[in-house]
Amino acid sequence: MRIILKIIVLISLTAYLIFAVVHLAHPQEDEPCCAVNYIINYEGEAPPRSIVDKAFVANLLNEKHVRPVGKTLGAVNLRSIRNMLNENPYIDSSYCYYTAAGTLCVGVVPKRPVMQVVTSTKKYFLTDKGSAMPMKQYDLKLPQVSGDISVREARKLRPMLDYIAHSPWHDKVEGYRIDPKDGLVMILKDEPFDIVMDSEQDYERKLANLELFMQSALPKAGKERYSRINLSFEGQVVAVRNTRKNNIK
């Protein structure tokens, strides 16, 4: 008889513990939401500048009149919040959940822009996944490509821009231009000449040739002597002289 009683007590304690754990881990729908915690998760390394931060997400909820604090947990539609966040052009994905203490956690994964594209008809960011994202008033100091270029063509520049971003050229490049005649043109900071690359193909060889030219030939001739440095020819660098009257002869 005592053994049976011990078994009954043990089963009762086990059932109570399971109930307590479940009850504490999952807040009840009639409990009030006490706070909102915003979480920003970046895929990979966090960028130095980003459009999406905690204030950005909080403003999105406020604009849609989503104010969960003080409401019961059951009155807040988590799926509706996720759908609203996922529709934003700057957010890749989102998630929502309640903690045991009744805090609503709203997490987002921002889209990651890698370049700014400026054409004659529109401006946009290109993301690391190759999609276009509206630029609006945001300026993230990313590499800028201007000229007549499509989203598909902009995607082809990604490997070269990634390579330059992790090389000594990173602080020397101001931007890029798509020229009707010369193709891809790289613009250097504090230099009087443009770099004609023609295309992104074989960019490592072209940049190596440019580095050699700037270290050996340019100091002797003087950089003011040239208006363009053409890297589009295999095995050589063609320096085009500056024809302005005040140019060094």
In the beta sheet, which residues pair with residue 40?
A: 108
CATH top class, domain 35-110 = alpha beta
**Same fold for the domain at 35-110 and the one at 113-241?**
no
Short-list 166, 131, 124, 165, CA closest to 146: 124
What are the DSSP calls for 108-175, one per residue?
EEE--EEEEEE-SS-EEEEETTS-EEE-TT------EEEES--HHHHHTTHHHHHHHHTSGGGGTEEE
Is the domain defined by 113-241 classed in CATH 1.20.1260? no
- Residue 215: the pLDDT is 87
- Residue 147: the pLDDT is 93
- Residue 141: the pLDDT is 83
Query: How far, in Å, CA of 44 to CA of 125, rounded?
Result: 18
pLDDT tens across 180-218, in order?
999 999 999 888 889 999 999 999 999 999 998 888 877
- Residue 57: the pLDDT is 95
- Domain range annotation of the chain: 35-110, 113-241
The per-residue pLDDT string of the chain (249 residues; one tens digit each, 9 = 90 and over) reads 656 555 554 555 555 444 444 444 456 677 888 899 999 998 777 777 789 999 999 999 999 998 888 888 788 889 999 999 999 999 999 999 988 888 999 999 999 998 999 998 889 999 988 999 998 888 788 889 999 899 999 999 999 998 998 898 888 899 999 999 999 999 998 888 899 999 999 999 999 999 988 888 777 777 778 888 899 888 788 888 877 644 443
